[in-house]
Amino acid sequence: MSGRLAAPREAMLDSAIALFRERGVAATSLRDVVAHSGAPRGSIYHHFPGGKAELAEDATRRAGELMGLLIRRIVDSADPATAVEAMIDHWSGVLLGSDFAATCPVAAAALSPDETAAARAAAGNAFAGWEDVLAAALTERGHPAAEAADRAALVVSAIEGALLVSRARRTDAPLRAVGRELVRRLT
């Protein structure tokens, strides 16, 4: 899409990601997304003819890709332990900066209801992609492929779980503890 048509669509995707981070997929309505994005009211079905299911899937895919790019930049510039520390710092900043209102929008999609099952699938693909990036970095640094894949799965799963616990407890202490343990396992 070009120019005028791309702007409302991108704004709605960005708004959906922001709202999913705070409210989850189920609690975010199309009306909420339109209001948050400032897009024209009738534009949601123009850009997302499949409604909320399509919006949730596309927003989850976009959020997963953006986080994947961040992870790739981090692992390309640092050893795995330092990369984990950077990811922990990133998510701690998200939690603290939002007063524990925001967390990972991809995790929110993973918890979404059946009406947005495609968003759950997109979340699964995003998590797998993040694991692939981390596993490749570990393999490049001499870890056997199977071990690298297991450690990458541990990193993604542990951080995502720690985000939920930290949000519920309103402290980044669980996230920090998970980060320290992951660093010990990667050094």
Nearest alpha-carbon partner for 159 in 56, 77, 99, 74: 74
Whether the pTM exceeds 0.75: the reply is yes
- % of the chain residues with pLDDT over 90: 91
Supply the Cα-derived Rg of the chain in whole angstroms. Answer: 17
| Count of domains for the chain | 1
E strand or H helix at 169: helix 145-169
The one-letter code for the residue type at 65 is E
Confidence (pLDDT) at 2? 41
pLDDT at 5 over 80: no
Tokens 């791309």 found at = 6
Q: What is the extent of the structural domain holding 118? A: 3-186
Please enumerate in sequence order all residues whose Cβ is within 8 A of that of 48, keeping only pairs 6 or more positions apart, or say none. Answer: 9, 12, 54, 55, 58
pLDDT at 126 over 50: yes
Q: Please report which confidence band the pLDDT of residue 114 belongs to, taking 50, 70 and 90 as the band edges.
A: very high
Confidence (pLDDT) at 175? 98
CATH number at residue 156: 1.10.357.10
Nearest alpha-carbon partner for 64 in 115, 121, 15: 121
